[in-house]
Amino acid sequence: APGPGAGGDLPFFGSVLRRADCVRSCEEPRLGAVSRHRAAEEVRADFQRRVPYSYLQRAYIQLNKLKEAANAAHTFFMANPEHMEIQQDLENYKSTSGKVSLIDQEARQHMEDYSAGVRHYDKEEYELAIDFLERALQGYYSEDEDCQVMCEGPQRFEEHEYLDYKAGLYEAIADHYMQVLACKHDCVRELATRSGRISPIENFLPLHYDYLQFAYYRVGDYVKALECARSYLLFHPDDEDVLENAGYYEGLLEGTVDPGTIKPRKEARTLLRRHKLESHLLQVAAASLGYAYTELNYWNRYGARQDEHSVPSSISSEPEDGPRLSLTKKPMPKPDRELKEGGPLLYSDVKFVYNSQQLNGTQRVLLDNVISEEQCRELHRVASGIMLAGDGYRGKTSPHTPNERFEGATVLKALKYGYEGRVPLKSARLFYDISEKARRIVESYFLLSSTLYFSYTHLVCRTALSGQQERRNDLSHPIHADNCLLDPEANECWKEPPAYTFRDYSALLYMNADFEGGEFIFTEMDAKTVTASIKPKCGRMISFSSGGENPHGVKAVTKGQRCAVALWFTLDPLYRELERIQADEVIAMLDQEHLGLSEMNINPKDEL
């Protein structure tokens, strides 16, 4: 620190200058001039999004190197899972070359080791789980050192215009150091975030120790079990399950080892101590210097495990004298709303078919006779007059698969065409009315306590293209969730953009059955294990909650045309469908005109 009096700060700044000279003298011989190795922000962003691999894939295709092209496409896709064209390219590679094992060339090794350790743990292969999880921890702490160093590079001062920046010496130093410190503090999030994701795996680092404490117990290494339990408790000192386990391990060691000599791991203590000090300094800066900062907790212990496998810190399948570790997952935070189902269907002709349990899932319902055969035919007639190829997908006629043509239309477009006389107004009005009927049924069946609003309404048809149906192994619509980005490898669904995170419920109302293929399917989070398959037919409706609990897709339509009304709903009025509001206004106007014409004894059809 700078000393007192005039010139007291010279030793401090002397060390700063020597450090700067050291860094510069190391960089230039190894990396060349600064202009050669400090890339522009746009270039860095492209590399972070793995954009070069998209170009690499195309280049490898031109060279007829399909194996390399497939790996490049897979590497790009891992950071851009919403990219439908790359997803289709991958399916094509698998079908043409039979290649199933693809390599992510930018995979973070500590993440790969962690995932492998968890897989072995779930299979009760505890020795292998220990090997991979210990390797993952070594990789994590090594990556943490790299992350800390990288934060000492150039920083962006978003709150300041450079030419107007008038801060004094120590203010300028503080401004820059706070940027560096915030970056270092964020390494916890960075190291727990998979490529292409925004949200980290919550509780990521502590979970390593949580898995390890029980794995070591199962292989009979009680010293390591206690060491890892105590390491976990550094992060969550009030976790009753692990506290109980630690007490049990202590009892097992009595008479052989003094449990008091077994400490939490040094690297965990060091990281946590540093993290707390960083947080303190950032909060001081926020309070005294006006630095914008919000402390986030990425070690929420209820965040990471959302599958049906065991969570290591709660076990009850052991004998009564063993640690009480239950093979069920830890309690999750309560959802924003209480999940219910089984409410009235409101319309006497609507027939209940299956509930969530019968469909092997959560918040699912299958209904028949939502609309009649005549209404299906009428909807089909209006569809042929208003649908546009690629509607809703920026004009891409085959947005999900090159083997089908996709067409669609919105409620507002149907009503406008009806008002202009381009399709029968009665048919256009039917599209509006049946979508409202579906909304009311969904709101009632799931016993929602607040209003369900339309988020998007789309009349869609998928048509099999002739000459392209042989040996198809792709899907009409790939497996996905409606309000989050499905990540099958991580067994997660990330509720973040570009997903429509505001969607709460979904429904599909089918119009016909005279086609081949096209079954609607639910799957597990792995996007492979099918839990329910539904054959569309006129008047059948499937509805479900829109989150990661309900991954779904559509099997290939191999012959004919499959049509349905697709509906997405939200409980947040801020995200009401704008076209639906405009459609409501059109309906109100039409009803007013109808009333006026009726009072004058004029048939509205005559006017149209």
Task: Render 167-225 in DSSP notation, one character per residue.
Answer: --HHHHHHHHHHHHHHHHHTHHHHTT--TT-SS--TTHHHHHHHHHHHHHHHTT-HHHH
pLDDT band at 22 (very low <50, low <70, confident <90, very high): confident
Instruction: Name the domain count of the chain.
Output: 3
Using one digit for the tens of pLDDT, what is the confidence trace for 113-172?
998 999 899 889 999 999 999 999 999 999 999 999 888 876 665 555 544 556 677 777
| Integer Cα distance of 361 and 94 in angstroms | 29
Q: Is there a domain that residue 365 lies in?
A: yes
Q: What angle do CA 528, 467, 384 make, to 5 degrees?
A: 85
Give the residue carrying structure tokens 């680092």. 205
3 state SS of 596: helix
Using one digit for the tens of pLDDT, what is the confidence trace for 392-424?
676 677 777 888 989 999 999 999 898 888 888
More confident residue, 242 or 156: 242
Q: Is there a domain that residue 493 lies in?
A: yes
Residues 84 and 216 in one domain: no
Residues 152 and 216 in one domain: yes
Pick from 97, 126, 142: which residue ends a domain?
A: 97
| Integer Cα distance of 50 and 72 in angstroms | 10
Q: Is there a domain that residue 281 lies in?
A: yes
Q: Is there a domain that residue 385 lies in?
A: yes
Examine the pLDDT at 350 and tell me if it is beyond 50: yes
CATH of the domain at 511: 2.60.120.620
Examine the pLDDT at 565 and tell me if it is beyond 50: yes
Using one digit for the tens of pLDDT, what is the confidence trace for 86-122?
777 777 776 666 656 788 888 889 999 998 999 899 8
Residues 67 and 183 in one domain: no
Q: Is there a domain that residue 347 lies in?
A: no
Closest to 500 (Cα-Cα) out of 577, 400, 448, 552: 577
Residues 81 and 118 in one domain: no
Residues 84 and 140 in one domain: no
**pLDDT, mean of residues 543-564:** 94
Is 562 one of the annotated active-site residues of the chain?
Answer: yes
Q: Is there a domain that residue 334 lies in?
A: no
pLDDT band at 333 (very low <50, low <70, confident <90, very high): very low
| Integer Cα distance of 418 and 412 in angstroms | 10
Which residues does 582 contact at the CB level (< 8 Å), separation at least 6?
Answer: 412
Domain that holds residue 537: 353-467+479-592
Residues 269 and 401 in one domain: no
Active-site annotation holder among 58, 562, 576, 580? 562
| Integer Cα distance of 116 and 107 in angstroms | 13
Q: CA torsion sign, 26 to 32 to 35 to 37? A: negative
Residues 90 and 195 in one domain: no
Residues 536 and 578 in one domain: yes
Q: Is there a domain that residue 33 lies in?
A: no
| Integer Cα distance of 409 and 386 in angstroms | 6
Residues 540 and 417 in one domain: yes
Q: Is there a domain that residue 206 lies in?
A: yes
Residues 73 and 144 in one domain: no
Residues 187 and 249 in one domain: yes
Backbone angles phi, psi at 579, to 5 degrees: -65, -30
Residues 150 and 269 in one domain: yes
